[in-house]
Chains A and B, each alone.
Chain A
Amino acid sequence: MSDFNIMADKLSNAQIAWRAAQDIEDGSYVNLGIGFPEMIAKFQPEGRDVTYHTENGVLGFGKAPAEGEEDWDLINAGKKAITLNPGASFFHHADSFSMVRGGHLDLAVLGAYQVAQNGDLANWRVGSKGVPAVGGAMDLVHGAKRVAVVTDHVTKDGGPKLVETCTFPLTGVGCVTRVYTSLAVIDIEGGKFILREKLPGLSMEALQAVTGATLHTEGDVPDLIVPQDL
């Protein structure tokens, strides 16, 4: 299938978020990073009971309120207005990050500039210019039972974001366990990228060509199937 065009046929962010949402387990406590990862909540599969955590001290928040209904004392870590689900709770910042570092969250999903094959993540700054800001990213990569990344497979220039060694400043060392990209689903185990799913029509060679480190396989690689209308 040589007619596969990586830039044209890759998944949209909504499709990547949908795929990541399928792996959220029933009964889990989940933190979704600011921005792109927040979209995952929209695609939470029916029938799964998921409790969302936000760093500024809310557990069990729900959808955004209607415009004009915002209460700005009720926000998430991205400073967006939220609502509460039944069973929600408030707590201070030290308790909030105890939930993070203390191993109480089941899943944290973050964005990335680069992910290395050993699980290193770079997602907080790309160089030494400008105003640095780290927020809770360096905390979130520690403590959750699974730390996943959602990202385009390549940079805007087509360069690899999955690499042997991160060149941007690190957020955490050896912390990422799964990467959902615009082309594939990849686990990180034993210092290697293990390819779990790839888009139908995309050859191994073409995928490897846009990946900065060796992709390993364990048996067949199923197709990465997502809804087409997202």
Chain B
Amino acid sequence: MDKTISTVAKAVADIPDGAQVMIGGFGGSGAPIELIHALIDRFRATGSPKNITVINNNAGNGYIGIAAMIKAGMVKKMICSFPRSSNAEAFNEKFLAGEIELELVPQGTLAERIRAAGAGIPAFYTPTSFGTELAEGKPTEEFDGKMYVRESWLKADFALIKGQLGDTVGNMTYRMAGRNFNPLMAMAAAKTIAQVSELGEPGSIDPQQVITPGIFVDAIVEVAQPQQEEVLVRTGVVY
């Protein structure tokens, strides 16, 4: 079951207009920059995919990665917890101009909604956001004397994720805090596309070290020297 795709361009070729796309990473760590830029390349060349809903913790930084997607005009809606970062001009401008939608989700709730989707759990109760404006309209219930808010699973059509080691059957590891949302998103999307720094044959990763088992990954592409979002932002790169 070889899931290898030869290029990032081929890996993202099937993502259609209007797709809901999870993109891994927290700030710059674990962000699949090459997959995102391949998607932007396709949009610039063909006008598609457009009207994308992006799910990520943030709403992009600087003018690369998700920020560049937003700037290019491909993104209809962001589902995230913290769009207001220090270098989030691309999102801020569109948002304040009313040109992009925002669904704001507390960070832990975002993670659990994604995990729930991957685990086949349609809803769950959390204490987070009870009594706040982010819980307005949501069912609440008392458990052991404390109030909780019902939240629903969050699914996606595609997930773009970044790992460190991968093998051709889709097993993956992650580099340091680059893990963050990546393993959760791998579970929650109908099709998960992964970029890894080092792609090997089955058996190249010690099974005890596998963090995302290959069953959650549909396509895997090697990007041997991946760019790091934070480094790109700090050096002022514009994509």
A residues with CB within 8 A of B: 55-58, 71-75, 77, 79, 90-94, 96-97, 100-101, 120, 130-139, 142-143, 169-173
Give Cα A170 to B129, complex, Å: 9
Is B190 positioned at the interface, with any CB of A under 8 Å from its CB?
A: no
Judge whether A138 and B134 touch: CB under 8 Å: yes
Q: Looking at the assembled complex, report how far the CB atom of B12 sits from the nearest CB atom of chain A, in whole angstroms.
A: 23
Chain A residues whose C-beta falls within 8 Å of the C-beta of B211 in the assembled complex = 92
Tell which of A56, A71, A97, A171 touches B26, judged by Cβ atoms closer than 8 Å.
A56
The answer to whether B108 has its CB under 8 Å from any CB of chain A is: yes
Q: List 17 A–B pairs whose Cβ atoms lie within 8 Å, in order of A's numbering.
A: A55-B108, A73-B29, A73-B175, A73-B177, A75-B29, A90-B176, A92-B181, A96-B108, A101-B128, A131-B83, A133-B81, A133-B83, A135-B82, A136-B107, A138-B109, A139-B108, A172-B131
| Contact yes or no, A138 B128, CB < 8 A | yes
Interface residues of B, dominant DSSP: mixed
Which of chain B's residues 73-131 have a Cβ closer than 8 Å to chain A?
A: 81-85, 88, 91-92, 95-96, 102, 104-112, 114-115, 126-131
Residue pair A94, B111 in contact (C-beta under 8 Å): yes
Judging by beta carbons under 8 Å apart, are B130 and A173 in contact?
yes
Determine whether the beta carbon of A79 is less than 8 Å from that of B181. Answer: no
Please measure, in the bound complex, the distance between the C-alpha atom of A154 and the C-alpha atom of B58, giving whole angstroms. 31
A137–B81 CA distance with the chains assembled, in angstroms: 10
Contact A101–B126 (Cβ < 8 Å): yes
Nearest neighbor of B113 in chain A, beta-carbon distance: A94
Closest A residue to B181 by beta carbon equals A93
Per CB-CB distance, the 9 closest pairs between chain A and chain B, nearest first, are A97-B108, A139-B108, A173-B131, A133-B84, A93-B111, A72-B230, A142-B127, A136-B107, A79-B27
Is A79 in contact with B107, judged by CB distance below 8 angstroms?
Answer: no
Judge whether B166 is part of the interface by a CB distance below 8 angstroms. Answer: no
Given the known inter-chain contacts A93-B111, A131-B84, please indicate yes or no for A79 contacting B230, CB distance below 8 A.
yes
A56 in complex: contacting residue of B88, B129, B180, CB < 8 Å: B180
**Among A55, A71, A100, A143, contact of B176 (Cβ-Cβ < 8 Å):** A71
Q: Chain A residues with Cβ under 8 A from B160's Cβ?
A: none
Chain A residues with CB under 8 Å of B92's CB are 131
The answer to whether the Cβ of B62 comes within 8 Å of any Cβ in the partner chain is no
Q: In the bound complex, what is the Cα–Cα distance between A25 and B228 (angstroms)?
A: 37
Are B81's CB and A134's CB within 8 A? yes
B109 contacts A56, C-beta separation under 8 Å:
no
> Chain B residues near A55 (CB, 8 Å)?
107-108
Chain A residue at minimum C-beta to C-beta distance from B228: A72
Check if A72 sits within 8 Å of B231, measured CB to CB: yes
